[in-house]
Amino acid sequence: MKWSSRPRSSGVRRLAVIVTAAVLGVSAVTASVAVDHTQAIAQQQVATARTAKSAADAAQLTVTVSPDNGGILAPGQDLTVQVAVTNDTATPFVAGTIDLWMDKTPIDSRKSLATWLGSTDAVPGAQTIGRAPLGGLEPGSTSVVRVTVPAASVPITARTTQGVFGIGTTVSIGSATKVSGRSTISWNAGAEITRSNVTVVMPITAPATAAGLIPAADLAAFTAPNGVLTRQVDGLIGHPSVAIGIDPMILASIRVLGTAAPASATQWMLSLSQLPNDVFSLGYGDADLSGQFQSGLNAPLAPTALGYAMDPANFQTEPAPVGEPTGTATTEPGDATPTPTPTPTTPTGPVLPTLDQLTAWPYSLHGIAWPAENAVRSSDLGSLVANGFHTPILSGDNTNAADLATTPDSVLPISGGKALVADSGISTALRAAATATDDTGWNAAMSQVNAQLGLVSEDGGGQRSLTVTLGRSWPSSGTQLERTLRAIQTSPWTNAVSLPRVLASAPTPGLTFTSRSESQARLTGIKGLLDTETRINDFATILDDPATMTGQNRAQLLTLLAVSWTEPRNDWSNAVSNNLQSSFKILNSVRILPTENVNLVSAQGSIPFSVNNGLPNEAVTVVLSASPSNSRLEIDEDATKRIQPNSRATVLVPVKAKLGNGQVILTLQLLSPTGVKIGTPTAVTVDVHADWEGIGALIVGILLVLLFGFGIVRNILRRRRENSAAGREGDAGATESAPDGNSPDGAARTGDPLAGDATAGAEQHSDDTKEPSV
């Protein structure tokens, strides 16, 4: 059977049927042994059609063959098959015919089934059991035609034992274009059947994200009446044997919002808690365990802090513990000392939940790990057991199950525990059914599920205990989960049992582990994310609370490691690239701004440098360290500065210049208070002119000495001139008025020359006291 990868909605299908009915004048065709009338209609359509498309164009048509009831057919039932033909070309196809045929030889093994479904060769002895007309196909359209074969015309109706038979269709358009599709029917004759014990393991996960937490708007959409998370929980109702793996990231995303969480999300979590199923924990974000081990980690990563996403205003205030005793005291009978009565204190503010409280759930199963499929190495098993995961769920492709003659049981003993090996073929088909968007796709997928279960029942190995897993990535649409679970658990070839019961079954001899590994491209991406996280952790030491950055980065990293990212439809490489670019932007947000060359003309001083903090919501504390290239400069100490969010600040670096002139290359490096280097170092040229200050001081000193010296000399000369003038005036006055001999002065002059000198000295002293001070 060939699959069409393009989803078709039920509305498109109904429209295609209506168009076909309008063209053909019939809404459904019942095929019978007498097909002459149908052939006549088809021949008339071909005769009036345009030129037929070539055989090369037939490769652009896809045909899906979908028997009703998941391919299960019992005696007395009509065989009804839906045939969907899709035109993926850019040109129209004319009308044609659909022939339905059956291979009456039963398929005897699962290997033969896979070969038969994948073949396009003609089947010798195939019997045509029905025919129907096909209307024209416009580009991009799909036509769905129902072909019904009466029970009496089914070739195997007399068979009394079960069996799996191939059916197929041949679509003929014109004389050259033919394309075919295949499927199977599982004949249930009503005889006793060996049933397999089957447990289904299903993840509760959200669509792939790199955000670390699911935003409130997405939570509201995911938990809406037809949201992806709602469909998962609703589909589990009534199926208690299904084991559930829960991604704790979903729980944390709801709880960090507190009272701001969408009401639908809170109700969804309540509905999940009311399910009676066995529950185990996936890793946070459903992070890929094998990818982590193969990237060099010894233990899987876990979230470190989610406080960055919590708003205290969204959490209720709780009263503080009992406070200090007050002055009021009570005395018990017989007590000598009164007992103080404690008084409750006022509320201390909102109490935020802890990380453990955000991710907690009452899990009933422990020690279960679910690594990515077909990507586990032998050494990974030891790492899983060493970290407490004694029961890993492995894909059958990670074993030799496909090489065994019969389908093995699920249990595989490993060192230190037991692995559960999921049946790859049945799991793949069941996932296609659960995510189908229409009835045609669902029946096509379930026909493969039932065919494989029927062949397991026939292979002679006795009752099997099988594990079947659903996919880790859920589509945005599709409502077939509950229908799919009901179909496999009520299949004629299964007993629905719990995971612990399957785990308790005996292993199949010969089943062995086959070592696989992640792709090199994926491991390279994971290692890049891990290296960047180390740099982010170092960078965050400049923050007041590094956990606000490191916690968010770790959460984002874990969601990027989700197993769902391995799905081809999810562009993991682009998500990793976007994350790395955001991280590099953070790492470059705090830096030293470019500085022009600096001229230093003093023996010591402080050189200013601008540091930018580009973080929008976080203040940082940085240390600026400077290292000179030679001994002309000496750095006294590093400079520490606190810089507010989204701003810049000037940091002064104290320096001392030593004797000598020349250039010094100053290497600048930002550090955190703990000594971690922040960003890359930068350099600035400093022109040192340390002797200019000494020369300038000498010149100023000389000028000052000359200035004061000149003033002193000038004052001395002026005094001398004034003294000389005063002496001449005194001599002239003595000559003009001779003293009387009887006067004291005259006696002094005539009788005692020394007396006259003394008088003159007294007069000189009097003159000196009248000079201004300088």
Which superfamily does 591-693 belong to? Subtilisin-like superfamily (2.60.40.1710)
Sorting pLDDT into bands at 50, 70 and 90, what band is 636?
confident
CATH architecture of 10-192: Sandwich (2.60)
CATH architecture of 197-298+358-503: Alpha-Beta Barrel (3.20)
Calpha distance 523→293 (Å, rounded) = 10
Sorting pLDDT into bands at 50, 70 and 90, what band is 324?
very low
Answer whether residue 200 shows pLDDT above 90: yes
| φ, ψ for residue 532, nearest 5 deg | -65, -35
Helix intervals (H) in 157-288: 216-222, 228-236, 248-255, 263-273
Contacts of 16 (CB under 8 A, 6+ apart): 141, 142, 143, 144
Mean pLDDT, all residues of the chain:
84
The Cα-based distances of 390 to 290, 376, 398, 420, 645 in angstroms read 15, 15, 17, 10, 47
Structure tokens at 739: 């003293």
- % of the chain beyond a pLDDT of 90: 67
Calpha distance 168→101 (Å, rounded) = 5
Q: What is the pLDDT of residue 479?
A: 83
Structure tokens at 615: 């973080």
Three-class DSSP category at 611: strand
Q: What is the pLDDT of residue 756?
A: 42
Q: What is the pLDDT of residue 38?
A: 33
Answer whether residue 342 shows pLDDT above 70: no
Sorting pLDDT into bands at 50, 70 and 90, what band is 699?
low
Q: In the block, which residue shows the tokens 């001994």?
A: 631
Note whether 10-192 and 591-693 share their fold: yes
Choose among 549, 554, 556: nearest CA to 590.
549
Nearest-Å Rg of the Cα atoms of the chain is 48
Answer whether residue 61 shows pLDDT above 50: yes
pLDDT tens per residue across span 526-539? 999 999 999 999 99
Positive or negative, the CA dihedral 439, 445, 446, 447 is positive
Answer whether residue 394 shows pLDDT above 90: yes
Q: What is the pLDDT of residue 697?
A: 53
Three-class DSSP category at 348: coil
pLDDT tens per residue across span 485-530? 999 999 999 999 999 999 999 999 999 999 999 999 999 999 999 9
Calpha distance 245→247 (Å, rounded) = 7
pLDDT tens per residue across span 733-743? 544 444 444 44
User: Can you give the length of the chain in residues?
Assistant: 774
Asked if 151 contacts 75 with a C-beta cutoff of 8 angstroms, the reply is: yes
Higher pLDDT, 228 or 769: 228
Angle at 287 between CA 414 and CA 531, to 5 degrees: 110
- Going from N- to C-terminal start, the domains of the chain cover 10-192, 197-298+358-503, 520-587, 591-693
Asked if 309 contacts 213 with a C-beta cutoff of 8 angstroms, the reply is: yes
Mean pLDDT of 227-237: 96
Answer whether residue 64 shows pLDDT above 50: yes
Q: What is the pLDDT of residue 550?
A: 98
Calpha distance 335→162 (Å, rounded) = 89
Asked if 641 contacts 611 with a C-beta cutoff of 8 angstroms, the reply is: yes
Asked if 294 contacts 288 with a C-beta cutoff of 8 angstroms, the reply is: no
Answer whether residue 542 shows pLDDT above 90: yes
pLDDT tens per residue across span 247-287? 999 999 999 999 999 999 999 999 999 999 999 999 999 99
Beta strands in 511-602 (DSSP E): 590-592, 598-600
Answer whether residue 6 shows pLDDT above 50: no
Residues forming a β-bridge with 395: 422
Asked if 118 contacts 448 with a C-beta cutoff of 8 angstroms, the reply is: no
Whole-structure pTM value: 0.79
Mean pLDDT of 1-11: 37
Q: In the block, which residue shows the tokens 């038969």?
A: 116
Q: What is the pLDDT of residue 632?
A: 80
Question: DSSP string spanning 401-421?
Answer: GGGSSSPPPSEEEETTEEEEE
